[in-house]
């Protein structure tokens, strides 16, 4: 059974709901704190959850990107292990140069920069797949054009990069997800992100960074699409995994595909 | 005309200390890291004399119990200092929801200064390495010296 580490930095705040989503899709996962980098090598995949690592000091994700606990994550990514970053985890992966990964480790070429509004925003969104899933092992099994619900809840989620890098992100298939409506029609990014980007993937397709939180819309009682109201009075239906949990089902499929049973 | 103000902490600066620790991990020999927020105000000449008093009254920018507020003589970095700014910055016209008399644009920078054990600036090569590897993300920021 593959083992997944949920990497916790000082200031991470979404580790429990991320762990719960991973357990719900049948993965063996556990929290690993930044103070125990030596314990990370044995894991088969890594998830960096949301929050405010190191209080977003200097820049969102910047300090964590240089933390010693990222050394085994980077080494694992370079050997093909799957790495998923959600929100602050995505910011860390960008600062660490893992996504889009066009210049090497810890040489960032893009960033999830402060929102165009200048404010923290929390809005319900849908992520639409924008890359051919067969090129991206971490998205293996996801259907083309799939739409995943989640919450964009961040102050620094605007993809920013020089124009030539943005062209490279598109041309080389690093744009993993864009913002869409529930029917899959593209919509402007709520944070002003270039390319309306909601997620980036590296060239090898084993490192994925997404800004919205699918783990916060992964149970019926969390949904805003009316299904929560329809489930009132039915405890089992209310507590059922659905919506954003599909994203983790695909992740689990990919993890199991990478690691022989 | 542009007037510059530096706001720094008189209580321990946790962000500066975190930067110091990360720079140490990168092998950059700074014994102390000094950080300030720089606020640049484009202000009409006839309103410039009142600007300092106006800025000092914005408690979200300057709290005398924890900050030091200094009006700079120049709107450029001091020797040894580097300012980090957003590359696609759009100047604001308000600060903390308030307009200041005569102010037409407000821009913000983060000023960094790396000092050695004698309180002198580290070498330019060390400073440049700190900026290039950590203090500035060139994807969306620019370093001004």
In the predicted structure, residue B71 carries a pLDDT above the cut 70: yes
Q: How close A16 gets to chain B, by Cα (Å)? A: 26
SS3 A8: strand
Q: How close A221 gets to chain B, by Cα (Å)? A: 37
Residues of the domain holding A62: 3-258
Whether residue B102 contacts residue B47, with contact meaning beta carbons closer than 8 Å, is answered with yes
Which domain CATH number covers A149? 3.40.50.880
Where b means 16+ CB within 10 Å and e means fewer, A108-138 reads bbbbbbbbbeeeebeebbbbbbbbebeebbb
Band (A261; pLDDT cuts 50, 70, 90) = very low
Contacts with B18 from chain A: Cβ below 8 Å: 54-55, 57-58, 63
B80-106 per-position pLDDT tens digit: 999 999 998 889 999 888 899 999 999
The whole-number average pLDDT for the span A81-108 is 96
The whole-number average pLDDT for the span B10-21 is 97
Q: What is the pLDDT of residue A235?
A: 92
Q: Which of B88, B135, B139 sits opposite A58 (nearest CB)?
A: B135
B40-64 per-position pLDDT tens digit: 999 999 999 999 999 999 998 999 9
For residue B9, the surrounding DSSP H or E stretch is strand B2-9
Band (A259; pLDDT cuts 50, 70, 90) = low
Predicted ipTM beyond 0.85: yes
Number of domains chain A is built from: 1
Q: What is the pLDDT of residue A225?
A: 84
For residue B55, the surrounding DSSP H or E stretch is helix B48-56
């Amino acid at each position: 059974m593959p083992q997944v580490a949920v990497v916790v930095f000082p200031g991470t705040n979404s580790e429990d709901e991320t762990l719960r989503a991973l357990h719900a899709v049948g993965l063996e996962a556990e929290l690993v704190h930044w103070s125990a980098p030596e314990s990370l090598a044995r894991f088969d995949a890594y998830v960096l959850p949301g929050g405010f690592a190191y209080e977003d000091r200097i820049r969102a994700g910047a300090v964590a990107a240089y933390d010693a606990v990222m050394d085994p994550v980077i080494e694992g990514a370079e050997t093909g292990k799957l790495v998923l970053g959600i929100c602050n985890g995505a910011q860390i992966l960008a600062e660490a140069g893992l996504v889009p990964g066009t210049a090497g480790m810890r040489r960032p070429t893009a960033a999830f920069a402060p929102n165009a509004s200048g404010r923290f925003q929390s809005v319900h969104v849908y992520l639409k797949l924008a890359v051919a899933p067969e090129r991206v092992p971490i998205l293996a099994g996801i259907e083309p054009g799939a739409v995943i619900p989640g919450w964009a809840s961040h102050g620094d989620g605007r993809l920013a990069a020089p124009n030539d890098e943005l062209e490279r992100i598109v041309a080389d298939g690093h744009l993993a997800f864009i913002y869409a409506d529930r029917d899959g029609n593209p919509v402007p990014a709520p944070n002003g992100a270039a390319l309306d980007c909601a997620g980036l993937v590296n060239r090898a397709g084993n490192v994925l960074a997404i800004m919205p939180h699918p783990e916060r819309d992964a149970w019926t009682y969390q949904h805003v699409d009316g299904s929560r109201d329809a489930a009132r009075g039915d405890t089992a239906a209310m507590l059922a995994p659905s919506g954003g949990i599909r994203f983790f089902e695909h992740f689990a499929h990919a993890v199991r595909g990478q690691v022989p049973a | 005309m542009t007037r510059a103000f530096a706001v720094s902490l008189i209580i321990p600066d946790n962000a500066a200390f975190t930067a110091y620790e990360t720079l140490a991990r990168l092998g950059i020999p700074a014994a102390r890291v000094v950080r300030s927020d720089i606020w640049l105000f484009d202000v009409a000449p006839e309103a410039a004399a009142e600007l300092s008093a106006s800025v000092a009254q914005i408690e979200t920018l300057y709290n005398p119990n924890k900050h030091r507020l200094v009006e700079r003589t120049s709107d450029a970095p001091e020797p040894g200092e580097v300012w980090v700014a957003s590359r696609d910055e759009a100047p604001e016209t308000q600060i903390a929801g308030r307009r200041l008399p005569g102010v037409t644009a407000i821009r913000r920078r983060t000023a960094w200064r790396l000092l050695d054990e004698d309180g002198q600036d580290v070498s330019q090569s060390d400073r440049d390495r700190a900026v290039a590897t950590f203090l500035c993300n060139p994807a969306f920021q620019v370093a001004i010296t």
